[in-house]
Amino acid sequence: MMLDMQHVAFGANGRFLLDDVSLSVARGEVVVIIGPNGAGKSTLLRLAAGLVAPVSGRVLLGGHDLATLSDARKAGLRAMLAQNSPAHARFTVRELAAMGGLHAGRACSASALAAHVHAALELVGLLPMAERDITSLSGGERQRAHYARVLVQLRAAAGNGLLLLDEPVSAQDLARQGLVLNVARAHARQGGACLMVLHDLNWATCVADRIVVLRNGRIEADGRPEQIVSATLLRDVFGLETEHVPVHARTGRPFVVPHDIVGHDFSEQYGE
Amino acid sequence: MKVIRPASGLVLGGLSALLLVALLCALMIGATGFGPGALWTNPHSEAARANWLVISQIRAPRAVLALLTGAALAASGAVMQGMFRNPLADPGLTGVSSGAALGAALVIVLGNAGTGAGLVAHWAVPAGGIAGALASTVVLYLFASRGRASSPTLIILAGVALSAFSGALTGILVFRANDTALRDLTFWTMGSLSGAAWPQIAVLLPVLLPAALIMARIAGGLNVLLLGDEDAALTGCPVERTRRLAMFCVALACGPIVSFVGVIGFVGVVVPHFVRLVSGPDHRVLLPASALLGAALLLVADTLARIIAIPSDVPVGVVTAAIGAPVFVWLLARSQQTDRLS
């Protein structure tokens, strides 16, 4: 098992953000976390990355307890794309991507690192912008530049680590959403694994081997997309009426259309 | 926009050449000026001996001290700007310089070491400077890490308070000082290189060398710190240790420098800024390039300081302030628009 979270709880300021969460990701697998805002999705990723330590329970990465690993060691085993990364300095896209190689030090030669950077920039479609200043990029371009950095980080080590993505398509246009998710899937298929947070249910059902539904800091459901995505669950978790196609003719996956988007009174649902 | 950066070797080579020219100028220009040939045309003449004496005992130690001072202050400024993600940070802003000043002043007034002679006297004041600088950074660090992790804004605010406090204590010391110590103190708060002598260089080298080695070691970590603490940690940088090492090497570099030459402002802010404009924010180039440009700049500033009011010797701190303050204000105006390290 690549990632194994056992009965993990986490809280801040006297409030539980996650409670008794057990979740595992196998090698080769893409697992998508869905859930309403504030359900604890990002917190779950941060725990999986070892950015924060659980209050109780354990997080194992490749069989090692995360709490016992050094920062550099962790960096070779997992990489994470955060929701938004600020641009404090005028690095170029290429320089930013190369920062992924920091943890490898001399273990990854300058020429090998340059090759990894080139490959990653090509994957995310930023090779033509490699010499651009990251502060001059659009939000979507910058998100993909950081994505390239994250890919370089894993490739500078064994290349088969765990990819953690927090809303990786939030700033992307429709075509680039597919691009970003395909890269993640390819990474998993080539011996890595991926755990990501997505909001778009239809992307989730397309890309996921398993979907984990998180609500109020607890896992509500965990299983294959066709087992998970049902009108009842979506009503329970998101409070949303949906039209639901169990097997879409083209993708073979469930397809969801929210009811009454136009003219629907959302304030009723959220009690505002 | 597309960024075109010269190769790092070209930048460092060019700055080294600039430094060499500045060094030659500093050695040749002064109250008695002479060309490079003056020493060799008739090496045994009375004039050549006098010139050699001027160079070896007066100008050379002063030039080397100027060089080391400029390099240490500029590189320290670059380190602090990186670790605080703040283009205006420098040793002065975080209370390191004023802490060093207080430590050195304590030794001057209480021990009256300025009038002593020999190895102990040469080491006592700079040791006080290092101790003061380190004490400031430790207080700063303890304060800032009371929470879960030290945030850049907190450190700078704490530095402002620390600076004021050290300044107040130094002010009290001035009134407690006797005449000799007072002369040392006033001379030294102006920021001047006129007391330069070879024994100071002998003290500085073994302290600055480890500081430079630490800077080389943390340069890559400082780069990812610019992405924010979380992304830096995710990339594999030990964030807290890198920040602690950064504080330590800055204290090591600035402590003895401040104790010898006093407070010289603006070098730490202005130099790294101009280097970034050419070679970008990568600390693996920025730190050595800032050291080279800082050294060259201070050599030029001190040469100016020596000749603008011959036979008087203007404190070099006055010259750097005159050049640096307007640039600093310009940077301040710019940083309000962008809030970035450009």
Question: What is the residue extent of each domain of chain B?
Answer: 61-338
Whole-number percent of chain B with pLDDT over 90: 32
Whether residue B90 contacts residue B269, with contact meaning beta carbons closer than 8 Å, is answered with yes
Average confidence (pLDDT) over B79-90: 82
B-interface mutation test, from A71, A127, A135, A153, most B Cβ less than 10 A away = A71
Per-residue pLDDT band for B184 (boundaries 50, 70, 90) equals low
If one compares B178 and B144, the residue with the highest pLDDT of the two is B178
Helix/strand/coil for B30:
coil
Q: What is the mean pLDDT of chain A?
A: 89
Average confidence (pLDDT) over B103-117: 69
Domain boundaries, chain A: 1-69+201-272, 76-197
pLDDT for res B114: 47
> Which residues from chain A sit within 8 angstroms of residue B236, using beta carbons?
71-76, 102-103, 153
Range A69-73 contact pairs with CB under 8 angstroms and sequence separation of 24 or more? A70/B238, A71/A103, A71/B233, A71/B236, A71/B237, A71/B238, A71/B239, A72/A103, A72/A105, A72/B236, A72/B238, A73/B236
Of A24, A158, A177, the closest CA to residue A79 belongs to: A158
| Structure tokens given for A34 | 């869905």
Per-residue pLDDT band for B152 (boundaries 50, 70, 90) equals low
Nearest to A89 among B4, B231, B341 (CB): B341
Closest residue on chain A to B5 (Cα): A131
Whether residue A99 contacts residue A149, with contact meaning beta carbons closer than 8 Å, is answered with yes
pLDDT for res B35: 62
> Which residues from chain A sit within 8 angstroms of residue B239, using beta carbons?
71
What is the full DSSP assignment across B93-132? Answer: TTTHHHHHHHHHHHIIIII-GGG--HHHHHHHHHHHHHHH
Q: How many residues does chain A have?
A: 272
Residue for token digits 């669950």? A233
Whether residue A161 contacts residue A66, with contact meaning beta carbons closer than 8 Å, is answered with no
Q: Using one digit for the tens of pLDDT, what is the confidence trace for A210-225? A: 999 999 999 999 999 9
Q: Is the confidence at residue A23, as pLDDT, over 70?
A: yes
What is the full DSSP assignment across chain A? Answer: --EEEEEEEEEETTEEEEEEEEEEE-TT-EEEEE--TTSSHHHHHHHHHTSS--SEEEEEETTEEGGGS-HHHHHHHEEEE-S-----B--BHHHHHHGGGGGGGGGS-HHHHHHHHHHHHHHTT-GGGTTBBGGGS-HHHHHHHHHHHHHHHHHTTTS--EEEEESTTTT--HHHHHHHHHHHHHHHHTT-EEEEE-S-HHHHHHH-SEEEEEETTEEEEEE-HHHH--HHHHHHHH---EEEESS-TTTSS-EEEETT-TT--HHHHHT-
pLDDT for res B85: 80
Residues 6+ apart with CB under 8 A from B7: none
Tell me the pairing of strands A56-61 and A30-34.
unpaired
Judged by CB atoms closer than 8 Å, whether chains meet at B235 and A103 is answered as yes
Of A98, A154, A170, the closest CA to residue B284 belongs to: A98
B-interface mutation test, from A99, A106, A129, A136, most B Cβ less than 10 A away = A99
Average confidence (pLDDT) over B198-212: 92
Judged by CB atoms closer than 8 Å, whether chains meet at A72 and B4 is answered as no
Residue for token digits 């990465």? A61
Judged by CB atoms closer than 8 Å, whether chains meet at A86 and B228 is answered as yes
DSSP 8-state assignment for residue B56 = I
> Which residues from chain A sit within 8 angstroms of residue B233, using beta carbons?
51, 71
CATH number of this structure's domain B61-338, picked from the four choices 1.25.10.10, 2.60.40.3080, 1.20.58.110, 1.10.3470.10 = 1.10.3470.10
Closest residue on chain A to B277 (Cα): A90
Tell me whether A99 touches chain B (CB under 8 Å): yes
Per-residue pLDDT band for B113 (boundaries 50, 70, 90) equals very low
DSSP 8-state assignment for residue B341 = B
Nearest to A88 among B235, B237, B340 (CB): B340
Residues 6+ apart with CB under 8 A from A174: none
pLDDT for res B336: 54
Judged by CB atoms closer than 8 Å, whether chains meet at B2 and A103 is answered as no
Q: What is the mean pLDDT of chain B?
A: 83
- Give φ, ψ of B5 to 5 degrees: -115, 135
> Which residues from chain B sit within 8 angstroms of residue A67, using beta carbons?
none
pLDDT for res A179: 96
CA A159 – CA B59 distance, rounded (Å): 57
Q: Is the confidence at residue B309, as pLDDT, over 90?
A: no
Q: Quote the ipTM score.
A: 0.90
Q: Which CATH superfamily is domain A1-69+201-272 in?
A: P-loop containing nucleotide triphosphate hydrolases (3.40.50.300)
Tell me whether A202 touches chain B (CB under 8 Å): no
**Interhelix angle B8-28/B267-279, nearest 10 degrees:** 140
**What's the start-to-end Cα distance of chain B, in Å?**
13
Residues of B near A (Cβ–Cβ under 8 Å) read 1-5, 85, 220-221, 223-224, 226-228, 230-231, 233-239, 276, 280-282, 338, 340-342
Give burial (CB, 10 Å; 0-12/13-18/19+) of B14: middle
| Structure tokens given for B266 | 């603006």
Judged by CB atoms closer than 8 Å, whether chains meet at A74 and B221 is answered as no
Provide the CATH number for the domain formed by A76-197 in this structure: 3.40.50.300
- pTM for this one? 0.87
Nearest to A82 among B231, B280, B342 (CB): B231
Whole-number percent of chain B with pLDDT over 70: 83
Tell me whether A145 touches chain B (CB under 8 Å): no
Judged by CB atoms closer than 8 Å, whether chains meet at B1 and A76 is answered as no
A-interface mutation test, from B1, B2, B3, B4, most A Cβ less than 10 A away = B3
Q: Is the confidence at residue B342, as pLDDT, over 50?
A: no
Tell me if domain A1-69+201-272 and domain A76-197 are identical in fold. yes
pLDDT for res B38: 59
Tell me whether A74 touches chain B (CB under 8 Å): yes
Residue for token digits 């990364």? A85
Nearest to A51 among B3, B227, B233 (CB): B233
Q: Using one digit for the tens of pLDDT, what is the confidence trace for A122-150? A: 999 999 999 999 989 999 999 999 999 99
For A135, half-sphere exposure in the C-beta direction (CA atoms, 13 angstrom radius) is: 15
Per-residue pLDDT band for A14 (boundaries 50, 70, 90) equals confident
Tell me whether A133 touches chain B (CB under 8 Å): yes
Judged by CB atoms closer than 8 Å, whether chains meet at A89 and B281 is answered as yes
For chain A positions 146-165, those within 8 Å of chain B (CB to CB) are 146, 149, 153
Per-residue pLDDT band for A272 (boundaries 50, 70, 90) equals very low
Q: Where are the beta strands (DSSP E) in B252-324?
A: none
Q: Is the confidence at residue B205, as pLDDT, over 60?
A: yes
Tell me the pairing of strands A162-166 and A193-197.
parallel
Tell me whether A40 touches chain B (CB under 8 Å): no
Nearest to A99 among B1, B235, B340 (CB): B235
Nearest to B280 among A76, A88, A95 (CB): A95
Closest residue on chain A to B240 (Cα): A71
